[in-house]
Structure 1
Amino acid sequence: MQYRQQAKSSHMSTITIIGLFIGVAFILPILSTKEFISIPDSFQQLNTIFLSILIEAIPFVLIGVLIAGFIQIFITEDQIRAWIPKNKLFAVFMSCVVGALFPACECGIVPIVRRLIEKGVPLYAAVGFLLTGPLINPIVIVSTYMAFGNDLKMALLRMGVGFIAALVIALIISYLFISNQLKSETHLPTSKEKRQPLRVSMNSMLKHSIDEFFDMSKYLIIGAFAAATLQTYVSAQSLLFFGDSIYHSTIVMMALAYFLSLCSEADSFIGASFKNIFPTTSILAFLVYGPMIDLKNTIMLLSVFKTRFVFILFLLITFIVFLFVSLTSFI
């Protein structure tokens, strides 16, 4: 009963937020075309970017919440414990490998990771999965290969640097945090050992997926709007005040990756467009950093995990990606 009341409250708040943004995104432009009100061109640009981010991200969120619902109903805590190696290093390595084989976006993977942790997956193993899933899954690697003119070098660099960085970050997390760092317990009904009819189980899975979608989508909307606002009113050229050295340009490209909040399945084509402006090292930083952490992903993580954990994770990702990517300049 308590869980259903929490879900109903979450649904109402999400519907309110969706209604507000629908008003901003659709109704105001319609009124503008009817000449009832005058809307600046910059707002029209913001609106276009906002909708494009949502259209790009929502399918992956839907896939993510369906997988999360499947985990909740069909995967038991005992099965999770049996699959995870006791050794921290092996557990982290396995989680990074599974993430690398798992096609997921940085938005859709957040509800999956939350559900895995609630089922008993250690935080450090979940972090390995969280970081490699959006970064080096097969779809991302193929798109990177194609975006850079069928050049295997950038795809291999992205895969190698990303995997090692994720491995190191997850191992550091294993020593910094003991608890699961979830912001609050959702008190979900546990999956039952007794086998239920498939129709009943599928119905329960869909209910959990719907609840998860309403819970996650409001943070996606807020994050997408924030990213669209920054893209509209903060020019990329304004970031170049750092200078034009390889380290400065790497910082610039990491900042762009964070604030643009692109989907990892498409960011390689944007990164490739900077080939004539920035060195390979800086573009690699753009491709590795963005899928690990960006603005909309940060807001979604803050909705699930404690603020201190998200802040430390952000610092670790930023420092380690910068360090490892910079080392590639000597190759």
Structure 2
Amino acid sequence: MNEPFPLRILPILAPAAFILACLTVLLPLPAGSINLSYLYTFRTSFLGILLEALPFVLLGSLLSSLVHLYVSEQLLKKWIPKNPAAGILTACILGLLFPVCECGMIPLIRRLIQKGMPVYIATVFILSGPIINPVVFGATYMAFRMYPEMVYARMGLAFFVAASIGVMIYITWKSDPLKTAPVSKAHSHSHHAYHEHDHHDHDDPHDHHHNHACHHHDHHPHSNHHEKKWTSIFVHTADEFFDMGKYLLLGCMLTAGIQSFVAKESLESIGSGPVSAYVFMMGFAFLLSLCSTSDAFVAQTFLHSFSSGSLLAFLVFGPMLDFKNTLMLLSVFKTKFVIYLAFLICTVVFTGAVAADAFFLSQ
């Protein structure tokens, strides 16, 4: 399957960004060729954001791997109540138990919808899971430890946005949003093939005896099983870490570049606007496509240029809708559903952030 053009060039951009960052940090520049104060500011900002965020990205990758390997979709589905209100509430707090990054959320949700999970509950889980979890709470607290109200505002607004959109989806969307066909036919065909294979094995006594012997031979000590599990955990964690790391690296470079090379007066003029600050920060979150375990460290660098409400919009909007997960959503869901969901996210996040800034953060 052909990937979209931005994803095809990303494997080239990520190493290039890393090499450029290393050259900027390590190599001296000829005096007088460029204003070195800008590069020193860039280097300090880049390394500060990167080093603060990396431990949380690593922890998030590890927890995501544990969920991927040890928690089945069937078990998750059993925990979802049938009552709509209880289902939305449960989906909002599932992130406390299943801290999965937004990158790994969409494939999981596709399987759950195919197995019968209601669309509105799946949508709530997609929106709330990447934010309402202990890892993101800890990362946000570390980034805004001098402003704890931002931490609680982020969790509260994420909960409100996810629940509100879940209710809207429940009321307005009744059809199947997935592009793929229902899983039941494929499952039936697989079950039929498996049944025929079993029947053939029973007809041949020799094969039955041989399979029994092989089955007995395959009982290895538990240590081998545990070693394979540990290996799978580390391999999956490494894959998750490097997959999220390339977005973090690019995001840190863009943020450091804006902080270093864009005039402070320009940022303050954008940040002082009643609407422009929110539009800029939400658009910035969309383009950066940062993981929710690291975006708080980027937002923290804009504390003195932008209002608390616009930073809150950045922190809530990015994990719910950014460039990379929009492409993933379009590959899984129908375009009409993705456009509708994006409209709801933009509207509710903007409205909620403005209200939070007026009644909570500005107090």
Residue 273 of structure 1 and its aligned partner are, at CA, apart by 0.9
The CA distance in 2 between the partners of 1:203 and 1:180, in whole Å, is 37
State, as a whole percentage, how many aligned pairs show the same letter.
Answer: 34
The verdict on how the C-alpha distance between 1:314 and 1:220 changes in structure 2, with shifts beyond 3 A counting, is farther
The verdict on how the C-alpha distance between 1:240 and 1:63 changes in structure 2, with shifts beyond 3 A counting, is same
Partner of 2:125: 129
The CA distance in 2 between the partners of 1:103 and 1:228, in whole Å, is 23
Partner of 1:109: 105
Moved more, 18-27 or 134-143: 18-27
TM-score by length of 1: 0.67
Residue 115 of structure 1 and its aligned partner are, at CA, apart by 2.4
Q: 2:318 aligns with which of 271, 284, 290?
A: 290
| 1:179 is aligned to 2:176 | yes
Aligned residues of 2:299 and 2:314 also touching (Cα < 8 A): yes
The CA distance in 2 between the partners of 1:251 and 1:63, in whole Å, is 33
The verdict on how the C-alpha distance between 1:69 and 1:317 changes in structure 2, with shifts beyond 3 A counting, is same
Partner of 1:119: 115
Aligned residues of 2:268 and 2:305 also touching (Cα < 8 A): no
TM-score by length of 2: 0.62
**Unaligned runs of at least 5 residues, structure 1:** 1-5, 30-44
| 1:140 is aligned to 2:136 | yes
Aligned residues of 1:181 and 1:305 also touching (Cα < 8 A): yes
- 1:85 maps to a residue whose letter is P
Number of equivalent positions: 301
| 1:278 is aligned to 2:306 | yes
| 1:95 is aligned to 2:91 | yes
In the TM superposition, what whole-angstrom CA distance separates every residue of 1:211-261 from its partner, at most 9, and x where no partner exists? 9x99x99x9899899989988999977898867323221111111111111
Residue 294 of structure 1 and its aligned partner are, at CA, apart by 0.9
Partner of 1:34: none
In the TM superposition, what whole-angstrom CA distance separates every residue of 1:280-304 from its partner, at most 9, and x where no partner exists? 1111111111111111111122222
| 1:329 is aligned to 2:357 | yes
Aligned residues of 1:64 and 1:112 also touching (Cα < 8 A): no
Residue 146 of structure 1 and its aligned partner are, at CA, apart by 1.9
Residue 133 of structure 1 and its aligned partner are, at CA, apart by 1.2
Partner of 2:161: 165
The CA distance in 1 between the partners of 2:279 and 2:271, in whole Å, is 10
Aligned residues of 2:60 and 2:293 also touching (Cα < 8 A): no
Residue 117 of structure 1 and its aligned partner are, at CA, apart by 1.9
Aligned residues of 2:313 and 2:350 also touching (Cα < 8 A): yes
Partner of 2:340: 312
The verdict on how the C-alpha distance between 1:328 and 1:80 changes in structure 2, with shifts beyond 3 A counting, is closer
- 2:293 maps to a residue whose letter is E
- 1:125 maps to a residue whose letter is I
The verdict on how the C-alpha distance between 1:80 and 1:220 changes in structure 2, with shifts beyond 3 A counting, is closer
**Unaligned runs of at least 5 residues, structure 2:** 22-41, 195-218
In the TM superposition, what whole-angstrom CA distance separates every residue of 1:94-130 from its partner, at most 9, and x where no partner exists? 1111124432221122222222222221111111111
Higher alpha-carbon Rg: 2
Aligned residues of 1:99 and 1:130 also touching (Cα < 8 A): no
- 2:278 maps to a residue whose letter is T
Residue 319 of structure 1 and its aligned partner are, at CA, apart by 0.6
Q: 1:1-331, aligned counterparts within 5 Å?
A: 64=64, 67-68=67-68, 70-71=70-71, 75=72, 77=74, 82-174=78-170, 175-184=172-181, 187=186, 244-331=272-359
The CA distance in 2 between the partners of 1:125 and 1:168, in whole Å, is 11
